[in-house]
Amino acid sequence: MDQFLFSTSWFVPFYSLLGAILTLPWGIGIIQRTGPRPAAYINLLTTVLAFAHSLFVFKNIWDREPEKLLVTWFKAADLDLSFTLELSAVSIGATVLITGLSLLAQVYALGYMEKDWSLARFFALLGFFESALSGLAISDSLFLSYALLEVLTLSTYLLVGFWYAQPLVVTAARDAFWTKRVGDLLLLMAVVTLSTLAGSLNFSDLYEWAQTADLSPTTSTLLGLALIAGPAGKCAQFPLHLWLDEAMEGPNPASVMRNSLVVAGGAYLLYKLQPLLALSPIALNTLVVMGTVTAIGATLVSLAQIDIKRSLSHSTSAYMGLVFLAVGLQQGGVALMLLLTHAIAKALLFMSSGSVILTTQSQDLTEMGGLWSRMPATTTAFVVGAAGMVTLLPLGSFWAMLAWADGFVNISPWVIGVLLLVNGLTALNLTRVFRLVFWGKPQQKTRRTPEVGWQMALPMVILTVLTLLLPLMLQQWYLLPDWESINWYVALALFASTVVGVGVGSTVHLHKAWSRSRILAWRFMQDLLGYDFYIDRVYRVTVVGAVALLSRISAWSDRYLVDGLVNLVGFATILGGQTLKYSISGQSQGYMLTILAVVSVLGFFISWSLGLLNKLPF
């Protein structure tokens, strides 16, 4: 039985895909009498099967060697489109995380979207989403991974634009789609290039090729930058980071998946591309710069947000920036550990914020307050999720950061500074959000807010317990360091940054009467951070303006040059036809003479152009 489940692990992504397909009769309106809930139950059942299958395999995979399955998709003559699947502790563990969080998000969605008329369509899209993520987890082929990233781009577009009757939602879905397409297009160029240079797109073959590859500096640099572009778009890294903020217009259960798993999917692909990125020092330095700028910049921007979901989404970009920084410094193991701890904590935070949004019917932090006594389960979930995000001993993120900082304390001390700054500012921001939402006096929208129903409370309680037990799980997997090997100076510095962030966030004055400071200098800084350093306006003036100018030039040339030339030919033909009709005499001798004269003239010019007249004796 164990061997059968292990050998059929490749089928895990198809569970959710099957659930999405079975949901379609309700999603497109063929079945209406039963309502949309049977579709949700079908999708939940298939997700339970996928989670149980992957969890059982994960419990018994530690004594097995990783296996690879070769799948031939298309083969003809010299064209061989095949890909491999990897069955290892890392890949199967990733499927456990994906299916587990997806199951909790779907149970959460039953309560959050209980009265939504398109519940069946939403669950079908979630199943499609989960299938692509699970396939990406076990993929050992760059070709397959790229295809699944494209599926994730489409899924993001459909889920962000789920409430398509709202103009702002349509705009957000469009911007998210096109921003990701920029990175996907560059990644496609890298995929085509590698298929030509390496002859295979399976990661194992690419790793062997990278060990002996002899590329020019220009080729290796362009290849590395193109490989980075795809994950940068998925992980909302600068300069392709604006879409994640706009994607918060979608339903909150989809935001739970997006901020915990989808961004992690792009980072997971980047982790598997490490040996290829090592061919170019410029590409690694680009990862370091991109990750550092995004981590610090997005954390600062989150401090000025008054929308609860946008405040949390910017912290997602910041933590993915730390993952990019870790990969750029060739710390792949730290990146995976950080992805695990962040996914669980961020899913819990978004579930808690979704509960607040549902009960208050508002996302504005200045309209909330005093919810801790009215929503105890939600408050506990937010506190534990926030603690799991920062370096609060003994929770998971502390050990992930410590493993990273301990290795660079003597080699690159500036990395420690980045970690301390990002962690301290994140603690400050989460404390600020907690005070505005749960602490203080109740506002008009929070005076009579009850706790959410069991469909939403149960996933939050499970994730709360999982966040608290995560250190024990890391210890069981031998991922925690020995007490004797811990650098206590670094550990105390990380813990102190959390304490300082919480302390500042607890004492800073937060007045809800205005959303902007009355002091000019603070107002400028608040606007600068609140509007994301005006990056969207910079894009509008530069990139968007350049594209608009080129489009106007193209439209002018098409109208007046291309169309003008075609119209000129047509006008000349009409004028010539109208003129020649008066020379019709009806005598064939005249027609033959005209044809002979025209042919003679054409023959003369052709002979002259070819130089045949120069060979004549006279």
Q: Quick one: pLDDT band at residue 610, thresholds 50, 70, 90?
A: low
The boundaries of the domain holding residue 599 are: 543-578+590-615
CB 390 within 8 A of CB 423: yes
CB 150 within 8 A of CB 35: no
CB 512 within 8 A of CB 436: yes
Q: Quick one: pLDDT band at residue 427, thresholds 50, 70, 90?
A: very high
Based on the fold, state whether residues 454 and 567 are members of the same structural domain: no
CB 449 within 8 A of CB 357: no
Q: Quick one: pLDDT band at residue 407, thresholds 50, 70, 90?
A: low
pLDDT tens for 141-199 read: 888 889 898 888 888 888 888 888 788 888 888 888 888 888 888 899 988 888 888 87
**For helices 308-328 and 263-272, what crossing angle results, to 10°?**
0
Q: How many Cβ atoms are within 10 Å of 110's Cβ, its own excluded? A: 21
HSE of 269, CA atoms in CB hemisphere, 13 A = 34
Based on the fold, state whether residues 533 and 600 are members of the same structural domain: no
The pLDDT of residue 562 is 77
What would the mean pLDDT of 516-545 be, rounded to a whole number? 76
Based on the fold, state whether residues 566 and 466 are members of the same structural domain: no
**What is the reported pTM?**
0.85
Distance from C-alpha of 94 to C-alpha of 80, rounded to nearest angstrom: 29
Element containing residue 85 per DSSP (H, E): strand 79-87
Domain count, the chain: 2
Based on the fold, state whether residues 340 and 366 are members of the same structural domain: yes
Residue 241 domain-assigned (yes or no): yes
Residue 190 domain-assigned (yes or no): yes
Residue 470 domain-assigned (yes or no): yes
Based on the fold, state whether residues 528 and 506 are members of the same structural domain: yes
Residue 419 domain-assigned (yes or no): yes
Residues 6+ apart with CB under 8 A from 55: 96, 100
Distance from C-alpha of 76 to C-alpha of 69, rounded to nearest angstrom: 20
Q: Write down the mean pLDDT value for the chain.
A: 83
Q: In the predicted model, is pLDDT for residue 616 greater than 60?
A: no
Residue 278 domain-assigned (yes or no): yes
What would the mean pLDDT of 209-223 be, rounded to a whole number? 86
Based on the fold, state whether residues 415 and 558 are members of the same structural domain: no
Based on the fold, state whether residues 297 and 241 are members of the same structural domain: yes
CB 81 within 8 A of CB 75: yes
Based on the fold, state whether residues 595 and 493 are members of the same structural domain: no
The pLDDT of residue 544 is 76
Based on the fold, state whether residues 411 and 555 are members of the same structural domain: no
pLDDT tens for 304-350 read: 888 888 888 888 889 899 888 888 888 888 888 888 888 999 999 99
Based on the fold, state whether residues 440 and 550 are members of the same structural domain: no
Residue that has been written with the tokens 């690694």 in this structure: 284
Residue 474 domain-assigned (yes or no): yes
Based on the fold, state whether residues 535 and 610 are members of the same structural domain: no
Q: Quick one: pLDDT band at residue 514, thresholds 50, 70, 90?
A: low
Nearest to 81 by CA among 90, 72, 69: 72
- Encoded tokens for 352: 């808690």
Based on the fold, state whether residues 560 and 509 are members of the same structural domain: no
The region, left, alpha or beta by phi > 0 then psi within -120 to 50, assigned to residue 611 is left
Nearest to 314 by CA among 377, 385, 243, 403: 243
pLDDT tens for 276-302 read: 888 888 988 999 999 899 999 889 988
Least confident window among 184-198, 412-426, 569-583: 569-583
Residue 194 domain-assigned (yes or no): yes
Distance from C-alpha of 42 to C-alpha of 31, rounded to nearest angstrom: 14
Q: In the predicted model, is pLDDT for residue 423 greater than 60?
A: yes
Question: Which residue intervals of 454-562 are DSSP H helices?
Answer: 454-476, 488-507, 520-530, 535-541, 543-557
> How many residues are there in the chain?
618
pLDDT tens for 97-153 read: 999 999 999 999 998 888 778 888 888 888 888 899 998 988 888 888 898 988 888
Residue 52 domain-assigned (yes or no): no
The pLDDT of residue 410 is 61
What would the mean pLDDT of 79-83 be, rounded to a whole number? 73
Give the phi and the psi of residue 320 in degrees, each rounded to 5.
-65, -30
Distance from C-alpha of 394 to C-alpha of 387, rounded to nearest angstrom: 10
The pLDDT of residue 409 is 63
* DSSP one-letter string for 301-340: HHHT--BHHHHHHHHHHHHHHHHHHHHHTT-HHHHHHHHH
